[in-house]
Each structure stands twice: as C-alpha cells, then as structure tokens.
Amino acid sequence: MADIPESAITEKFLAGSGPGGQNVNKVATACQLRVDVFALGLAPDAYRRLKTLAGSKMTSAGELVILARSFRTQEANRADARARLNELVDAALVRPERRIKTRPSKAAKARRVDSKKARSSIKAGRGRVRGTD
C-alpha cells in the first residue's frame, strides 16, 4: 500500500447529486479529494503510468481529482475516496513485466501450412456438381 503524505491531500465536501430527497439537498456528503501528484515523489515511469491510469481525473497542473459520492455519510465517502486513491497509486507503482518475443518453430509452421492445405482441399471439393447430360 502506498504511503501518501497528508500534506499532498486536500479534501472538500460537496452536496451530492441525484435522488435522495432532503438528505442530498441539505447535507454535503460527497467527498472531493485533490492530490498533488508531484508531492508523492513517484519515479518518472510510475508517474507516467499514474497519468495513464488516471486519465481525465488528472489535471494539467498535476493534480489528481477523485470524487466519491456513493454513500450517505462524509466518513464513508472519505474512506472510499482514499481507498480509490491508494488503489490507483498502487497500480501505478507496479512495473509491467517485459514481453519476450517468441517465434513459431519450423514444425509449427509446417503443421499450420498442412492444416491450411487440408482445409483447402475440403473446400475445393464443395464445388457445383455437374450433371451427366
């Protein structure tokens, strides 16, 4: 789990949207989390991966904006936003495995060609039947 400094995070609580009656109208339960990505001290490759994973959640100023409004309480939305932030940063820290190029063997190529030839002969035998007039 990534260690995210509190100084890099700013929280703001907003009025939620959608159905919910008076609770939505009078209580600011939605949590908007803003994180200064540069304060996280990520390696350049991890920063690039985070930028790709975040997509439109990343601003041009290098801030990551996460909006959590699934729950009815501030505490639950705050916990959800922080959990999503941790998941995103953890995913960015994972270095993808290098792909090793492989090439089919001669035998595999020969098997492929033989199966194509067999299929071709089957299809060639499906022509129109000529009648004996």
Question: Is the residue at 120 inside a domain?
Answer: no
pLDDT of 20 over the 70 cut:
no
pLDDT of 3 over the 80 cut:
no
Helices (H), 62-105: 74-93
Q: What is the three-class DSSP state of 3? A: coil
Question: Is the residue at 114 inside a domain?
Answer: no
Question: Is the residue at 78 inside a domain?
Answer: yes
pTM above 0.85, yes or no: no
Question: Domain tally for the chain?
Answer: 1
Owning domain of residue 32: 6-93
Question: Is the residue at 132 inside a domain?
Answer: no
Q: E strand or H helix at 56, and its extent? A: none
Question: Is the residue at 98 inside a domain?
Answer: no
CATH of the domain at 17: 3.30.160.20
| 26-65 residue pLDDT tens | 788 889 999 988 888 888 899 999 999 998 999 888 899 9
